[in-house]
Amino acid sequence: MNICRFFIACSLVATLSAAPKSKGNPVYEEELNPPALKNNGMTYGCYADWLYLQPNGSNFYYGIENIILDPNIAVPTYSPNWNVLEVDPDYHCGFILGTSARFDEANVCLDLNWERLRAQDSDHFQTPSSTGFLVGPVFDAGAPSTVYNTAQGTMISHFDAVNLTVGKQVYTVQSFYADLYGGLGFTRIEHISQAEYTNAANATQRICRSTSLFTGAGPQIGIDYNYRLYKEFFLTGNSSFALLMGQMKNNTRFQSSVDPSVALGVPQPNVQKLRVPDRSQLVAGLEQKLGLFYRIIWKGVTATIAAGYQCQIYLDAVQSFDLTSPQVAPVGLGTPLTTTAIALLPEGFERTISNFILTGPYAFLGVEF
């Protein structure tokens, strides 16, 4: 009997010794390494985002109008009030294309993506036909602008970003997963603002076109986080921060066409330029995403469908130069009213730094295999 008990005890010990041991949280291990992907040690992925973003900033103005402060006064020159004209940007389509490679054993992921947006928006304003109403550029909003009664503003935004990051997935609390990542980012932001002013007969025209270009690169850090709501349905989000060091350039072109200037020997059109060749600029970039995604796993392939809202802001990324008032009339070219329509002769310049903002919804489709 004692011999039988001995052999039974040895059998139990051998069985327990051969049983697999738990590795922390078995559910999380399965999340990180689906069974079909554990053999080759690598998980590859590709993804695409469809973006519907609205560009914005603090420099979307294109002119200023003089309006009546006292409706009992017919001519607003004696009781002026002003209203700044701005372009209200629409939403435009953009995209993100990316690829990734995850080392399953180390649970480390390499990610490379490219984001692009092209946008153009415009606005139009025409003054009332009554005498005394005017519209013009912000640097020349007084009596000289009475020659203009129509203003057209156009804003063009070009945005490109390339990011290369290395991330590590960590498990924090039940049903919550996070990827901590860091890497390098490259960003190119080009903003073009154009304002055109004409009179009723189109005989007098002024065009002001300013181009600001920033190109920079630098380190970035961020976190992707997912919270399981129900089965394969997740709440997802992303937060990132980057410091981009680069070069900022600015070119402004002033073009005037006035019939009387031909008799004065002024070329038509009269073109003047203001140029900032390059200057160093540090731009801070912040991005935030929040949405929902659903995951489908089938025969070792994982497909993810997501949708949400995102915000991006790049601080001090757009530069512009405005002329200061009053405009000075040179000797021999007539009255200031005629002169400022023919040529710009400022007493000084004012530099303005603005932010570049992108906001709007997104849709995501990704595949891992």
Predicted pLDDT of residue 341: 64
DSSP class of residue 267? -
pLDDT at 22 over 90: no
The most confident of the ranges 82-86, 143-147, 249-253, 357-361 is 357-361
**282, HSE (Cβ side, Cα atoms, 13 Å):** 3
Dihedral sign, CA of 30, 31, 36, 39?
negative
Q: Which of 123-137, 189-203, 218-232 has the lowest mean pLDDT?
A: 123-137
pLDDT at 101 over 80: yes
- Mean pLDDT along residues 138-150: 71
- Contact present, 92 and 225 (Cβ < 8 Å): no
Indicate the burial class of 151 (C-beta count within 10 angstroms; 0-12, 13-18, 19 or more): buried
Domains belonging to the chain, first-starting first, are 42-368 (2.40.128)
- Contact present, 47 and 20 (Cβ < 8 Å): no
Dihedral sign, CA of 32, 34, 38, 41?
negative
In terms of pLDDT, which residue wins out, 335 or 264?
264
What contacts 126, CB < 8 A, 6 or more positions away? Answer: 135, 149, 150, 151
In terms of pLDDT, which residue wins out, 28 or 70?
70
3-state secondary structure of 7: helix
- Mean pLDDT along residues 321-331: 64
Give the confidence band of 260 by pLDDT, cuts at 50, 70, 90: low
Say how far apart CA 207 and CA 217 lie, in whole Å. 33
Predicted pLDDT of residue 173: 78
Instruction: Please give the model's pTM, rounded to 2 decimal places.
Output: 0.82
pLDDT at 113 over 90: yes
pLDDT at 188 over 80: yes
- Contact present, 127 and 98 (Cβ < 8 Å): no
pLDDT at 143 over 90: no
What are the C-alpha distances in Å from 16 to residues 13, 19, 138, 174?
5, 5, 84, 29
Predicted pLDDT of residue 36: 40
pLDDT at 327 over 90: no
Mean pLDDT over each residue of the chain, to the nearest integer: 81
pLDDT at 294 over 60: yes
Which helix (H) or strand (E) element contains residue 252? strand 233-258
